[in-house]
Chains A and B, each alone.
Chain A
Amino acid sequence: MTENEFQTLVLENQDRVYNTCLGFMKDLEEAKDMSQDVFIHVYQNISKFKGESLLSTWIYRVAVNKCLEEIRRRGRQKRSVHLEDISDPSVQNKAPDFFHPGIALENQQRATILFDAIEKLPEQQKIAFTLAKVEHLSYEEISDVMEKSISSIESLIHRAKQNLQKILKDYYEKI
């Protein structure tokens, strides 16, 4: 891949990769870093792209996998920190309130509560729901990215909504 081809690829895909990373990482700086890592991975592994799907779908897949790897890594770290020092308040509630720049001001507070709730979903439901709601992908596109059937995606999003209702109910009953 020449430098010019790579530059074109980045310019064509940088917004969607950044938006996807932001949806998962929920932090502007981390989303920027993660998006850069996604493109570096794409550059280094472009020979592995066999053309069985759209290039943009493959890039989405790389972005989702990179973000999930990082989230899982942090989950492991958090668990070990938690075991080491459960009483230290500095290591608790580290996830800051996330304000997505693309959400209208009047919806920011509710969206923050919803993003926190999405974090509590099982991984597959979280991916499907995030791609649908944050990236506005169709069920067909999500099925390509997640390499699952469209009916599985419908089921995942349906269950995600049900679980979110339960999580939000618990949240609002407590306050």
Chain B
Amino acid sequence: MKKSDLENEIDLTLLSIDQLEKAKAPDGFMELLAKKMLFKKEEVVWTRRAKYAIAAMIIFAIVNTALLITSQSSSRDEMLRSVAEEWNLNVDAY
């Protein structure tokens, strides 16, 4: 390409969007937006519900573990006490 042709082509390219007409939003834009907003709102509600469910499960697990540990230690104490009584040992000494 000649230098003058090259410069001309560059100028034409730079000018090619000067007469650009602004694009208009597609038909039904508002309706599509309303649908998307509703979907996002539902998504937020479900995410919140899932968070509450997970939190409840964690609390349930913690309470269960605590109860299990407590019951295990009390049953161990009872066992020691019965063995001590059987052998006529002073229970309070242990």
- Interface on A for B, CB 8 Å cutoff? 7, 10-11, 14-19, 22, 28, 31-32, 35-36, 39-40, 43, 100-104, 107, 110-111, 113-115, 117, 133-136, 161, 164-165, 168-169, 172-173
A107–B26 Cα distance when bound, in Å, is 23
Partner of A15 from the list B14, B22, B40 (CB cut-off 8 Å) is: B22
CB distance from A32 to the nearest CB of B (A): 6
Q: How many residues of B contact A (CB 8 A)?
A: 25
B55 in the interface (beta carbon within 8 A): no
A168 touches B14 (CB 8 A): yes
Check A10/B30 contact, CB under 8 A, given A18-B24, A19-B22. yes
A172 touches B1 (CB 8 A): yes
Partner of B17 from the list A10, A36, A101, A111 (CB cut-off 8 Å) is: A111
A15 touches B17 (CB 8 A): no
B22 touches A40 (CB 8 A): no
CB distance from B32 to the nearest CB of A (A): 7
Residues of A within 8 A of B24 (CB): 15, 18-19
CB distance from A66 to the nearest CB of B (A): 14
A115–B18 Cα distance when bound, in Å, is 12
Partner of B40 from the list A11, A40, A172 (CB cut-off 8 Å) is: A40
Per-position 1/0 for B1-42, Cβ under 8 A of A: 100001001101110111111111110011011001100100
A110 touches B16 (CB 8 A): yes
A62–B69 Cα distance when bound, in Å, is 55
- Could you list 9 examples of A-B contacts with CB < 8 Å? A14-B25, A35-B29, A36-B36, A103-B17, A107-B16, A133-B20, A134-B22, A164-B14, A165-B14
